Chain A
Amino acid sequence: MSRADRVFTIMLGLALASSAILLALLLTLAPRVEQLASRGAEDTADVVAALVLLLAVCGISLGVATLFRQLTATAMLIRRLVARKIALPSTVLAAATGLELDGRIDVVSDERPFSFCYWFLRPRICLSTALVERLDADELRAVLHHERYHLRQRDPLRQIVARYFAAGLYVVPVVDELLAFHTLQKEIEADQEAVRASGDVRSLASALYKLLPDADDVSLGLLVPVSSLSVTEARIDQLIARRPLSMGLSPLSVVLSGGALIAAAVLVAFKGGASVAFETLPPLYAVPGLLVGPASLLFAAAVDGGLHQLRPLTQRLFNLST
């Protein structure tokens, strides 16, 4: 199991466990919706219930919106590109010899150099004519090796699933950080595979170099940067010195995520203040300790995670407007 696979498994496990806890909380509080709607929030328990339900609605909407946005964007992009599909040039046929990619490569006529792996259950590789023209045979083969790794691992499917969970579970911000690390680790492993297959680093490095944009200050927040490095910069560092990448989760995210899950579990255990056990405790301790405290933790995590989710969008809008 590769490191990226382990990170993906951890992320999926955490996502499923978090979903179970948060779903239990939602089911505990959902019966109060009618009561809240008819007579409003009367006490602290009601305010907490209303707040948590609001956070849940945001999470569900974010998750569904992310899934929908990704599916429509992918479908539209592929439809546009497939309309410009051409027969495989001989250079591509030659570069793909022996890679077992029969019928899985598309070349589209486009003056921008790009290549990517797409579709979910039976992925394909798409190359643009500008990329094919710009690269020599060895470089093209290195790019195909890189993409073949993504294809075999069904990375587009992993990506859409991971992004869905990261958005829906915005109150557990560490899921989003694991997603960013997974994305980067995947690129690095695909690069390593290409270097291994090519026998040296030159072909891949040269292909990457030829595809760099001319401007060196382009930052659009599409790919999630790890610490201060962009994904491509981190990939270059890895090509130079093949040290395992440190995960570097932010302590704030870890604390907020842990806090949010514990808070949710406490709220479930005491049924958001409606359980018999809660009523037997002195309100002086029970209300701040078992209601307001956990709700505040959940809210803090939601604010941090929500900002995280919105950042790529705002960054992109900011960049497009300048």
Chain B
Amino acid sequence: MEHYKISFEDLRKLVGELLKCKYNVVSQSADGKKFIKINSESELNLNPANKPTDISMKEYFLPKSESLFFYKRNKDEIELIDVNINENKTVIIGAKPCDAAAVPVLSKVFNWDYKDEFFNSRVDKTIIIGTACRYKDSFCFCSSVGLSPDSEKGSDIFLVPLKDNFYLMKIITEKGKIFTEEFSWLSMEKTDERPEKASPEFDDSKFEYINVKTWLDENFSNDFWDGAGELCLGCAQCAYACPTCHCFDIVDESCGYSCGRRVKNWDSCQFGLFTKHASGHNPRDGQSKRYRQRISHKFKYYKDRFDEILCTGCGRCSRGCPVSINILEILQDIEECNKQ
């Protein structure tokens, strides 16, 4: 792995150059609430101490609403029109470890049986420049789900802050290497300087995942769930803010008689409609059952099937929950149940 030293100013210059070369450049917005496509180098918002955005960056791989194909009806014939997914190349700069790690986690489900060309083509065309994280609040728990504030998982290039507004730039993947070669004019020097790791203050574990998994394996039916889901109102803030939640619904929308499209929209297991059968029967007929599904999918089913935890510990679901349900507290409660 190659290590370079690069200044913040040069990273800005890189952004300017990428924009000239018609790349989409995505960074945290100035208010830090979401990831946006920026239009000038001055908009680059890159600070390891930034709080995770309110909404994750998954929309750049899995848009909230995505056309799959269009149709036209001419008398008796129906013509199908493919969607052109050849978007410009994208560079996401300033993804936190809890943002970047979600991409390889999601790739597993999108390539498990059917290979999702929409998701895959976006991932192929995106360079993720991750940044070490030096933010911490009572909702973060990356270190408990196998990540850390210095985790490079999912990043093609990874930046770690050095002194005086410099960054250590680690080239992680082949894709990242090819990308940096394209911009060889960048004043990057190879360096032996190594930054300090995140202090324990940022990197402490809040629970042992194995305890949660062990309990979940045995307790599909347990009174615990009634209490856990009791106050959940059943909105999808948690799922839509989440970097790893990926459920979607496919519907047809017409624009009158003669044309329309098939479209894939974000969906959430927290909605009653999500599991409602055409007969009217709903196997998940209460919020507690839906909340159990959310926890079980993330911390048990996905692990069983894909050997990954479907959670990066970013804490977005907890920070944004209208009724302040804190998933970390729920997981700690589960760990406590397992000890008993």
A and B: real partners?
no
Binding site for B on A (CB under 8 A): none
Binding site for A on B (CB under 8 A): none
